[in-house]
Structure 1
Amino acid sequence: MLPLSDTLVLDLTQVIAGPTAGQILGDMGADVIKVEPLHGEHFRPHFGGAWVPSMNRNKRGLAVDLRTEGGREVLMRLARKADVFMEAFTPGVIDKLGFGWEKLSKENPRLIYASVSGYGQTGPYASRAGYDPCIQAEIGLMDATGPDGGEMCRVGTAAIDYSTGSFCAAGIAFALLARHKTGRGQRLDLSLFDVGMHLMSHWITNHGLTGEDPIRMGTSNSIICPLRVFPTKTQPIFIAGTNDAFWKILCTALGKKDWLEDKRFTTNADRVANRAILEPLIEAHFLQHTCDELLDKLIPAGMACSAAYRISEAMVSPHAQARGSVLEIDYPGIGPVKSANNPIKLSDVPVETRLKSPGVGEHTVEIMREVGFNDAEIAALRDAKAIATQAD
């Protein structure tokens, strides 16, 4: 049995952060209902229709118009029996719709209520909408990212969104565990801003110690050397010489005794101070060899290093294939959709795709029947445009 079997989750979120959390819960066995407007979430057209399928597997689909009395009644019946309620509206919007924490916690005291927002439920920025790249800029992540001496850059994926989704799923799991002990639900207040600040943790610590802001150095780092991508005769290679022990391993594996004995490179502080001398030496040596030749020496020696791949190469690597890192699911009208698999691998039960990502309102009728609506009532609400079914 999966760990969240018999857990009912109402997922009103859209785009990345919330849907990622809901998908993790669904993968772990929860009955996750994706609640959408009648026309579906606004990112459904993206990626030729593949956006929503890529991060909403193991969910059922319900389409309701929460601006209507009938739509609100459907959701309220579900909320009274749900274990988890997830929303990602700008703070205050969900309260106006009649589904705020204060109200639902009275209707269902055991409810875990997860709010995902840009800046959280408190603080001077709480009323702002939040977007991953904007948060990247605001927390200093963009300022820390970019080419040596060049302009700041956005990180090449929605790192804060996906991390927020993971933290949200974990927070919900912790709250469910607490409920097992107390019998009470609680609210989870999770923001992209807080998660982004968490991702900057070592830079926060460094600034507290030195007063220094990060320096943009491409794939390198101002406080460690060597730590960057180096060109080779073939594939680029990343070297992570994060301590003096790794420096010794690097030099020994490459047969570069002269580097090891050079007093300018003895400690990390020495190597950082003499970066302009050391890095060209490494570059010149690496350009005489292929990436595979270097990896064949370094990896068995225990050096932290890797080839620097494109995503097209990473997806088909032998290790990604062995680990099942990429899922491919066929969707009618869209075709095969590839997405990242859940990285959580439990020893007792496999994480599988039990349900494809739902179409808009795909399970509206069966879900409404489960909370006491008869077919006549369902038809009336559909005619009133309070709900939508897949047939619509």
Structure 2
Amino acid sequence: MLPLSDTLVLDLTQVIAGPTAGQILGDMGADVIKVEPLHGEHFRPHFGGAWVPSMNRNKRGLALDLRTAGGREVLMRLVRKADVFMEAFTPGVIDKLGFGWEVVAKENPRLIYASISGYGQTGPYSHRAGYDPCIQAEIGLMDATGPYQGEMCRVGTAPIDYATGLACASGIAFALLGRHKTGKGQRLDLSLFDVGMHLMSHWITNHGLTGENPERMGTSNSLICPLRVFPTRTQPIFIAGTNDAFWRILCTALGRKDWLDDKRFTTNADRVANRAILEPMIEAYFLEHTADELLDKLIPAGMACSAAYKVSDVVKNPHTAARGSVLGIDYPGIGTVKSANNPIKLSDAPVETRRKSPMVGEHTVEIMREVGYSDAEIAALREAKAVATT
């Protein structure tokens, strides 16, 4: 039995953060119902139709028009028997649809209600729509990212969205554990802004101590040296000399006793102060060798380092295969859709793809029957365009 077996989740979210959370819950055994508008969520066309399948496995699909009385009644019947309700509308929208926290908590006091938004349910920015890049800009992450003394850059994925999804899934698990103890549901207020601030924690700490903002350093770091990507004769490699012990390992493994004995580089503070001298020395040495030659010495010695790969490299990496980090699922009309696997690995609950990501309304009839609708009633609601089926 999976940890969340017999847990019913209503997932009204779209795009990345909420669907990621719902997918994790589904992987862990929950019966997750993806509730979409009649024509599907607005990101369905992206990646040639592969966007939604990439982050909605282990869910069933229900298509409703919540602007209609019939669509709202279907959802309310499900609310009364659900364990978790997830929504990611701009604050206030879900209340206008009739499914705000105060309303559904009266219908189902045991319900765990998770709201995901850009800036949270309170505060002067709460009314704003917020996407991952907006938050990257807002929290200083964009300003901290980019080439040395160059233009600020967006991080090349959606780290805040995905981290919010993980935070939402874990928050729901905590709330379900709390309900087990108290018998009561509760609301989760998750915002990309709060999660993004958490990701900036050590820079916030540094600012509190020094008053300084992060300096754009490319792959390097203003507080640590050497910590950056260095070119080699072949593949670039990343060196993480995060402390003096790693510096000693680096020098010893490469046979560079002269670096180790150089008083300008004894401590991290020394190396940071003399970065302009040290980094060109390392770069010149690395350019005389291939990545494999260097890594074959550094990795067995225990040095924190890695090759700097492209996505096309890492998806073929033997470690990726051994860890099952990438899934490939076939979808009609699309082909094989590859996506990242669930990173949470429980010894007694191996992750399996029990269901492919649903098509729009794929399980509408099945789900409506489960909450008491007759086939005639389903047909009437379909005719009234309150629900959609495949």
Q: Normalising by the residue count of structure 2, what TM-score does the alignment of the two structures yield?
A: 1.00
Unaligned 5+ segments in structure 2 are none
CA shift at 1:241, angstroms? 0.2
Partners of 1:226 and 1:262 lie apart in 2 by 15
Partners of 1:212 and 1:43 lie apart in 2 by 39
- In the other structure, the counterpart of 2:200 is 200
Alignment of 1:113-192 (within 5 A): 113-192=113-192
Which amino acid is the alignment partner of residue 384 of structure 2?
Answer: A
Deviations 1:39-78 (A, max 9, x none): 0000000000000000000000000000000000000000
Which amino acid is the alignment partner of residue 180 of structure 1?
Answer: H
Partners of 2:25 and 2:137 lie apart in 1 by 30
Deviations 1:131-164 (A, max 9, x none): 1001000000000000001000000000000000
- In the other structure, the counterpart of 1:31 is 31
CA shift at 1:349, angstroms? 2.3
Alignment of 1:378-389 (within 5 A): 378-389=378-389
Name the SS for the 1:252 alignment partner. Answer: helix
CA shift at 1:79, angstroms? 0.3
Partners of 1:86 and 1:61 lie apart in 2 by 14
CA shift at 1:272, angstroms? 0.2
Deviations 1:191-223 (A, max 9, x none): 000000000001001111111100001000000
- In the other structure, the counterpart of 1:45 is 45
Does the CA-based 8 Å contact 2:230-2:238 persist in structure 1? yes
Which amino acid is the alignment partner of residue 65 of structure 2?
Answer: D
Partners of 2:140 and 2:110 lie apart in 1 by 39
CA shift at 1:32, angstroms? 0.1
CA shift at 1:350, angstroms? 1.1
- In the other structure, the counterpart of 2:95 is 95
Partners of 1:280 and 1:333 lie apart in 2 by 52
- In the other structure, the counterpart of 2:325 is 325
Which amino acid is the alignment partner of residue 17 of structure 1?
Answer: A
Which amino acid is the alignment partner of residue 136 of structure 1?
Answer: Q
Deviations 1:272-314 (A, max 9, x none): 0000000000001101111011111001111000000001001
Partners of 2:377 and 2:348 lie apart in 1 by 43
Name the SS for the 2:228 alignment partner. Answer: strand
Does the CA-based 8 Å contact 2:110-2:179 persist in structure 1? yes
Partners of 2:149 and 2:209 lie apart in 1 by 24
- In the other structure, the counterpart of 2:256 is 256
Name the SS for the 1:336 alignment partner. Answer: strand
1:283 corresponds to 2:267:
no
Partners of 1:211 and 1:254 lie apart in 2 by 38
Partners of 2:170 and 2:317 lie apart in 1 by 29
Partners of 2:286 and 2:88 lie apart in 1 by 48
Name the SS for the 2:120 alignment partner. Answer: coil
Name the SS for the 1:155 alignment partner. Answer: coil
- In the other structure, the counterpart of 1:68 is 68
Q: Normalising by the residue count of structure 1, what TM-score does the alignment of the two structures yield?
A: 0.99
Name the SS for the 1:91 alignment partner. Answer: coil
Partners of 1:302 and 1:259 lie apart in 2 by 18
Which amino acid is the alignment partner of residue 125 of structure 1?
Answer: Y
Partners of 1:77 and 1:349 lie apart in 2 by 30
- In the other structure, the counterpart of 2:292 is 292
Name the SS for the 1:61 alignment partner. Answer: strand
Does the CA-based 8 Å contact 2:28-2:349 persist in structure 1? no
Report how many aligned residue pairs link the two structures: 390
Partners of 1:358 and 1:345 lie apart in 2 by 24
Name the SS for the 2:10 alignment partner. Answer: strand
- In the other structure, the counterpart of 2:266 is 266
Which amino acid is the alignment partner of residue 238 of structure 2?
Answer: F
Name the SS for the 1:154 alignment partner. Answer: coil
Partners of 1:285 and 1:370 lie apart in 2 by 68
Name the SS for the 1:173 alignment partner. Answer: helix
CA shift at 1:346, angstroms? 1.2
Partners of 1:93 and 1:323 lie apart in 2 by 41
- In the other structure, the counterpart of 1:111 is 111
Partners of 2:349 and 2:111 lie apart in 1 by 26
CA RMSD of aligned residues (A): 0.4
Partners of 2:179 and 2:237 lie apart in 1 by 48
Which amino acid is the alignment partner of residue 136 of structure 2?
Answer: Q
- In the other structure, the counterpart of 2:334 is 334
Moved over 4 A (4+): none
Partners of 2:101 and 2:292 lie apart in 1 by 56
Partners of 2:376 and 2:348 lie apart in 1 by 44
Name the SS for the 2:343 alignment partner. Answer: coil
Does the CA-based 8 Å contact 2:61-2:363 persist in structure 1? yes
Partners of 2:274 and 2:177 lie apart in 1 by 52
Name the SS for the 2:39 alignment partner. Answer: coil
Deviations 1:304-348 (A, max 9, x none): 000000010011001001111110000001111000011111111
